[in-house]
Amino acid sequence: QRRTSSQTEEEAASEQKGAAAAADDEAKKKERKCVPGIIYLGHIPPRLRPKHLRNLLSAYGEIGRIFLQPEDRQVRRKKKKSGSRRCDFTEGWVEFRDKRVAKRVALSLHNTPMGTKKRQRFFSDLWNIKYLHRFHWTHLSERLAYEQTVLQQRLRAEVSQAKKETSFYLNNVEKSAHLEHRRKKRQRDGEQVETDE
164 vs 171: CA distance, rounded Å:
10
pLDDT at 197 over 70: no
Collapsing DSSP to helix, strand or coil, 136 comes out as coil
User: How long is the chain?
Assistant: 197
Is 15 exposed, middle or buried (CB count within 10 Å of its CB: 0-12, 13-18, 19+)?
exposed
% the chain with pLDDT above 70: 75
Count of beta carbons in the 10 Å neighbourhood of residue 126: 14
Helices (H), the chain: 2-33, 50-57, 73-82, 99-109, 137-189
Q: So what's the pLDDT on residue 131?
A: 93
- What average pLDDT score do residues 11-33 get? 61
- What average pLDDT score do residues 25-46 get? 76
DSSP state of 71: P
Q: Taking the model in full, what pTM does it have?
A: 0.57
- For the domain made up of 33-135, the CATH class stated in words is alpha beta
Q: Which residues contact 95 (CB under 8 A, 6 or more apart)?
A: 36, 37, 38, 63, 64, 65, 66, 102, 137
pLDDT at 10 over 70: no
